[in-house]
Amino acid sequence: MKLFFLLFFAAYVGGNIYIFIRLMQLLSGMSWPLKTIVAVLFWAVAFAMVIALFARNAGLPDVVMRMLYQVGSVWMVFTLYMVLALLVFDVAKIFIPSMRFGLLYAAGITISLLVFGYWNYRHPKVEHIDIVLDKPVKEVLTIVAVSDVHLGDGTDKKALMRYVKMINEQKPDVVLIGGDLIDNSLRPVVNQNMAEVLSQLQAPQGVYMVAGNHEYISGIEAVKEYLATTPITLLQDSVVMLPSGVQIVGRDDVMNRRRASLSSLLERCDMSMPVIVIDHQPYHLQQVDDAGVDLQFSGHTHHGQVWPINLLTDHIFEQSHGYREWSRAKIYVSSGLSLWGPPFRIGTKSDMAVFRLKSNSPQSNQ
């Protein structure tokens, strides 16, 4: 993982150097003071996200942290598509020497793409899925499952209000949260009193959540204390049985190297009754299928958020997003209701799953 981030950072810096060189070429006729100001602003924006991540617990004013986070995250995706567009125009210039202003054309295309990506992000997809089991279910159960909301400097209280409204509109019996509810720090969540909005979640049989890697990044013990002030029940290697007879198995995140094995958790279950597993990171799915789990809900992948990173997540994970029926288990991997960092969805969709769980025995659903 460290190697991945080092490679990512090296590519990011390299891309910005490329854009900066082309920008200075465009400004070659300008004065040195102007070019110096542009250079300082350029690199301040380029490293804004890095500053925000390292200063997340430094006590800076919220408005400063939000600005750093949002500007820096936008620039990350701008860099990706700007580099791709610039490469196209620079190659085209080899064959068409008269082509000028490639930087401006590339910037126009990139900005247009980001506008679309922002609109796409603001319109999550709601997936309705009927799941029929051979096991008894006392009643048809409506389960809303979301993951990767990443509350903090990127997903603020106003956005959370939209998401809670979306969830409640489905009239769920149960709500499942597949981890990474919190982003990089609990501080903005506390300062914006987001517990007030989380307390508006309506699910008569409960709201259950597992920790994701970001709950550990932001401080798992502090997160546990904060969630205790909300209706959310955090499951860390624990099992609960709903009034409908459905069992919810909440696995702790792999960040906890001492987390319980799936087999040990299933030993606490009655396997003749429905078993739903929530596990933030969708690894070892064949083991889940072999174990006799009925439904697993995961997140973490974001499906890459933007093209072409989704091609990478498709390669890394057995199932990088969406719903799939394995030989025994049904598995849903959420792309995330919100996202981490850049507020764009390009080639992917934010999503929320609505499961209608019922038995193939008519008597069981009465």
Percent of the chain topping pLDDT 90: 81
pLDDT band at residue 365 using 50, 70 and 90 as cut-offs = low
User: Which two three-digit tokens encode residue 360?
Assistant: 């193939």
Condensed to tens digits (0 to 9), the pLDDT of residues 268-324 reads 999 999 999 999 999 999 999 999 999 999 999 999 999 999 999 999 999 999 999
What is 243-269 written as a DSSP string?
TTS-EEEEPPPTTSTTPPPHHHHHTTS
HSE, CB side, 13 Å, CA atoms: give it for residue 30. 13
Q: How far apart are the first and last CA of the chain?
A: 49
H helix count then E strand count, the chain: 13, 12
Q: At what angle do helices 32-46 and 62-95 cross, to 10 degrees?
A: 110
Please tell me the predicted confidence (pLDDT) of residue 362.
60
DSSP-derived letter for residue 283 is -
168 compared with 49, residue with greater pLDDT: 168
Reported as a pLDDT band with limits 50, 70 and 90, residue 1 is: low
H/E stretch holding 295: strand 295-298
For residues 239 and 264, is the Cβ–Cβ distance under 8 A? no
Q: In what order do the strands lie in the sheet with 275-278?
A: 238-241, 247-250, 275-278, 295-298, 330-333, 322-325
Tens of pLDDT, residue by residue over 65-122, are: 888 888 999 999 999 999 999 999 999 988 888 777 889 999 999 999 999 999 999 9
- Average confidence score pLDDT of the chain: 93
Quick: pLDDT tens for 149-174.
Answer: 999 988 999 999 999 999 999 999 99
Question: In the predicted model, what is the mean pLDDT of residues 207-220?
Answer: 96
Does the pLDDT of residue 58 top 90, yes or no?
no
C-alpha span between 215 and 210 (Å, rounded): 9
- pLDDT attached to residue 112: 97
DSSP 125-163: EEEEEEEEESS--SS-EEEEEE----BTTTB-HHHHHHH
- Both structure tokens of 164: 């809670």
Tell me whether the omega of the peptide bond preceding residue 308 falls within 30 degrees of 0, making it cis: yes
Do the Cβ atoms of 226 and 195 come closer than 8 Å?
yes
125-365: CATH homologous superfamily? Answer: Metallo-dependent phosphatases (3.60.21.10)
- Give the pLDDT confidence of 135-154 residue by residue, as tens digits: 988 889 999 999 999 999 88
**All residues at 6 or more sequence positions from 30 whose CB lies less than 8 Å from its CB, including other chains:** none
Which residue pairs from 158-167 have beta carbons closer than 8 angstroms and sit at least 24 positions apart in sequence? 159/338, 160/194, 160/197, 160/198, 161/197, 163/337, 163/338, 164/197, 164/198, 164/200, 164/201, 166/124, 166/126, 166/352, 167/201, 167/352
Question: Which tens digits make up the pLDDT trace of 341-362?
Answer: 899 999 999 999 999 999 887 6
Give just the sign of the alpha carbon dihedral 104, 123, 347, 147. Answer: positive
**What is the mean pLDDT of the segment spanning 226-248?**
96
pLDDT in tens, 80-92: 999 999 999 999 9
When pLDDT is averaged across residues 230-245 and rounded to a whole number, the result is 95
Q: Where are the domains of the chain?
A: 2-121, 125-365
Q: For residue 47, what is the DSSP state?
A: T
Q: Is the dihedral of CA 322, 239, 173, 195 positive or negative?
A: negative
**Percent of the chain residues topping a pLDDT of 70:** 97
Say what the pLDDT of residue 354 is: 98
Question: Is it the case that residue 366 has pLDDT exceeding 60?
Answer: no
pLDDT at 347: 95
Query: What integer pLDDT is reported at residue 18 of this predicted model?
Result: 95
Put simply, whether the predicted model's pTM sits higher than 0.85 gets the answer yes
Per-residue pLDDT for 4 more than 80? Answer: no
Radius of gyration of the chain (CA): 23
For the ranges 59-63, 216-220, 350-354, which has the lowest average pLDDT? 59-63
Q: State mean pLDDT over 326-332.
A: 96
